[in-house]
Amino acid sequence: MNPYDDFSSSYGMSHQHQNSSKFRSSHQTKKQKKVYMPMLDGPLVSYRTFMENQPTNIDREQAEELYKIYRKDWESKQYEIFFGEHKEEQWFKEKYNHLFAERFKAERQQQAIINAGKFLSVVSQGDYEQINLEIDQKTLTASMKKGHEESDDLDDYTPPVRPINFFTEIYLDTNILLSPYFGFDPNCMTLFIKAVPKNISRWEILETLEKVPGFLSLSLSEPLKSHDFSRFGWILFDSEDNSNKAAYDLNNFMIHNHVFNIVKSRSQRKPIKVTTKLDSERIQKDKELSRKLILEMDKEKGVEQSLASNARYQEMSGIQQLDVQLLYLRKVHSYCYYCAAEHYDERMLAAKCGSIHLRLTTQGEPINVPDWH
């Protein structure tokens, strides 16, 4: 049975239903009774309130169908209202306008090209020859024990058994920024923008930042509804010294009469993720897949320099090549292989995914080096 048969809408029915022949005015036939349909531009009416306001002779199944239609129409109306209210705001254009999306894509491509050049230069200098993105079980257990509140004796604590694809989160006392991990600190080279008003675009900010020595990238948060759709911002530099100098130089930085409050980043440190122990077959597959990812991402972003053709890289062992590939994905493409997560820049990757992603020490046969050519 059609839920509208024998009933007509009351004043609050949406326009498209008011004009439908299924919602004839109640004076057209004495057999019809009005049903309650709330206004669409008001707050969502709960199912209970909707049902309580229906005529007593309406079938429950009919009323439930009417509520489903009302809720769907209400959601469509809210999208329409939201679009009308925010379509001219900069954050909205950046998020939904395809022209801005193309500009954003070009910006990321340029960053990848610059980052690839710097990464390959470091590889050529031999700085990554001691890279090792593994952690032994003893160190892992000790790190997990530090945060464990139930046992005072390390020997009494046994880490829980985890599924194969599970990863553990730990904090290490070791400086993960140095060899052999070469991780990333999301704070030391980053400035924090406390508020970017909704009428200011990222490219207006970039116009000034690109003139600041050592500037690498600008990332913005999603708009905050509770703060009139303003956004947070993070400015990444190539060194801590340039970051500190920029914090002083950008004091009282202004756009459209808005004075930006820019300070050193103090985001909370994320724990390091550690995968479970992987066998040599799985690691070989990871090496091949990460190699293919690099080729695809480099091609997509126009990176012409090749990691595979780097002489220092070719001299490395198979497991070292894997680690360099994983680090390349993070530092050039802001991509964490084990989490399968991609972010705008390495700072955002570190803030969301951790400064580095390690794996438990492997056991088994040495890994063969696949031919990139």
What is the structure's pLDDT at 94? 81
- For 197, the token pair is 């008003």
pLDDT digits (tens, 9 = 90+) for 207-256: 999 999 999 999 998 889 888 899 999 999 988 999 999 999 898 889 98
Please count the other Cβ atoms lying within 10 Å of the Cβ belonging to residue 330.
24
Residue pair 345/111 in contact (Cβ under 8 Å)? The answer is: yes
- Sort 276 into a burial class: Cβ within 10 Å, 0-12 / 13-18 / 19+: middle
| SS3 state at 336 | strand
| SS3 state at 21 | helix
Q: Mean pLDDT lowest for which of 179-193, 257-271, 332-346, 354-368?
A: 354-368
What is the CATH architecture of 187-264? Answer: 2-Layer Sandwich (3.30)
What is the structure's pLDDT at 139? 77
pLDDT digits (tens, 9 = 90+) for 141-159: 776 655 444 333 334 434 4
Q: What is the 8-class DSSP label of residue 155?
A: G
The position carrying tokens 């079980």 is: 137
The position carrying tokens 């991609």 is: 342
Q: Is the pTM of this model over 0.85?
A: no
The position carrying tokens 């395809």 is: 98
- Kindly report, as residue ranges, where domains of CATH 3.30.70.330 are found in the chain: 187-264
pLDDT digits (tens, 9 = 90+) for 154-175: 344 344 444 434 577 878 777 8
Question: Is residue 189 scored above 60 in pLDDT?
Answer: yes
Non-local CB neighbours of 302 within 8 Å, separated by 6+ positions: 109, 112, 113
pLDDT digits (tens, 9 = 90+) for 278-332: 888 888 999 999 999 999 999 999 999 899 999 999 999 989 999 999 999 999 9
Question: Is residue 362 scored above 50 in pLDDT?
Answer: yes
Please count the other Cβ atoms lying within 10 Å of the Cβ belonging to residue 373.
6
What is the structure's pLDDT at 269? 79
